[in-house]
Amino acid sequence: MNLRSDLGSLIGSAALCLATSTLLGQTAPKSTADLRIDTTQTEAHIHPEVYGHFAEHLGRCIYEGIWVGEDSSIPNTRGIRNDVVAALKDLEIPVLRWPGGCFADEYHWKDGIGPREERPAMINTHWGAVVENNHFGTHEFMDLCEMIGTDAYVSGNVGSGTVQEMMEWVEYMTSDADSPMANLRRENGRDKPWELKYFGVGNESWGCGGNMRPEFYADIYRQYNTYVKNYSGNKVYRIACGANGSDYNWTSVLMERAARYMDGLSVHYYTLPTGNWQKKGPATGFDEKQYIDTLVNALHIDEVIGNHAAVMDEFDKEKRVGMIVDEWGIWTDAEPGTNPGFLYQQNSMRDAIIAGLHFNIFHTYADRIRMANIAQTVNVLQAMILTDKEKMIKTPTYWVFHMYKEHQGNDVLPLQLMTGNYKVGDVSIPQVSATASRDPETGAIYISLVNCDTKKGSQINCALEGLTGKTIGSARVLTASAADAHNTFDQPDAVAAKDFKGAKLNGDRLQLDLPPLSVVTVEIR
């Protein structure tokens, strides 16, 4: 069975074989799993944008996390932190979404251009009611994108903005004409227009973006989208606001009434440890029951994506409209003692496991998913990076992105996985998750696996059908002794990717010894 198989069937697909291995001088139980990968065929192309990111004006994501200002003692280039730029550049992130999120529908872009000392301040009513000085605006965001080598995904203001405001913003960013907005951009120091690849027409219009009904938003989308123009050879990929979680009716209405006007339709899905928005659960200090419950909620995104994809298929059998999962990740209670409106949470090995599970699921829907954006990049929710003034650390989730970046732009290889179960009480999930892809240019094969079990390792017996004359290239592992293990500013490398020694290749047979609680990526070249 492949990864699209029913979760219940997968759980019961194989008996759990127990073995023992010596790990750190102790005898630890180990299970076995059988994996078969067909290297002679491909299923779909993994769009690099599946590894996208999201930076909202929320808490300390932008201000302090990315922007410190040119006069800051923190090393920066034109006000943007050098350490954060270097870390994000190393991830090779393909696309960055900005300025929101809920913030997008109260953001008026003209307040964020021109001399910074003359820009009017604004209240961030959604996130902590802080007053922002608008020093980080369009020019600064586009500068950031150029620094890290990523495409820009800008979310437009539908909730409190006007059609003219949105139209003029696109003209300001992309037009090379002798026109009012292009000339205004030139007056503000940028002669050449930017490339704007992705534009979102509103955000969460069912909630913070206007509390609209899908029928109403479908008409609003058609109106606003009409004025998102293509200037000077720039081709905008237009993204409509999609559903919240399992609201399949929203997707049905939007696809029926507006599909031909859009290139992509978004979906948002967050993993709540408890499933309760009022008491989501802590980022660390959880027990094993809370850990597995969180993974169950994370795996539910497979069903959500599958059902939305089925609805989209009814109206778009050619899969022209891409699914854009532009907000995903674990959302816990804010760290004690921090502003609850800043959504600052620690990032643990549990979050790394969740990231790996998500990528493996995204790959199974590569024929439909065009982009995904984790929430968020710095200091907010499931962040890649945490900062404390001049200090910066990379989180366990950062390292999963780093290990999986080789899958960007590859072709998915069909696989069958027979794995045992990871069980806590009466809750059971597949112990191991896997994905495989091939680089269409080099022919290199990348295999990534997640072992969810906190106590048992797993010996993977992998048949690589059609493989000849290959060797193991790079191999990396991310693991920890506890699910809530995390990095701190005093111990920034407590959880980090390391070389993996547990891979052996003999002809077309690959054996992998996964530690408990681990993410592994192996290159076959």
Please say whether the dihedral angle defined by the alpha carbons of residues 252, 253, 254 and 257, taken in this order, is positive or negative.
Answer: positive
Give phi and psi for 258, each to the nearest 5.
-140, 5
Angle at 351 between CA 346 and CA 353, to 5 degrees: 155
Q: Which residues pair with 173 in a beta bridge?
A: none
Per the annotation, the verdict on 204 as an active-site residue is yes
**What dihedral do alpha carbons 112, 117, 118, 123 form, nearest 10°?**
50
CB-based contacts of 314-319 (< 8 A; 24+ apart in sequence) = 314/252, 314/255, 315/252, 315/255, 315/256, 315/259, 316/255, 316/259, 319/367, 319/368
Nearest one of 232, 231, 233, 220 to 261, comparing CA atoms = 220
Which listed residue (106, 171, 327, 406) is catalytic? 327
DSSP classification of residue 339: -
Q: Which tokens go with 218?
A: 């479908």
- Measured from the Cβ of residue 278, the count of other Cβ atoms closer than 10 Å reads 6
- Measured from the Cβ of residue 508, the count of other Cβ atoms closer than 10 Å reads 15
Q: Which residues pair with 355 in a beta bridge?
A: none
Find the farthest-apart pair of alpha carbons in the chain and give their distance in angstroms, rounded: 74
Q: Is 426 helix (H, G, I), strand (E, B) or coil?
A: coil
Answer whether 97's CB lies under 8 Å from 153's CB: yes
**Residue entry with tokens 């969810």:** 452
- Measured from the Cβ of residue 496, the count of other Cβ atoms closer than 10 Å reads 17
Active site residues: 204, 327
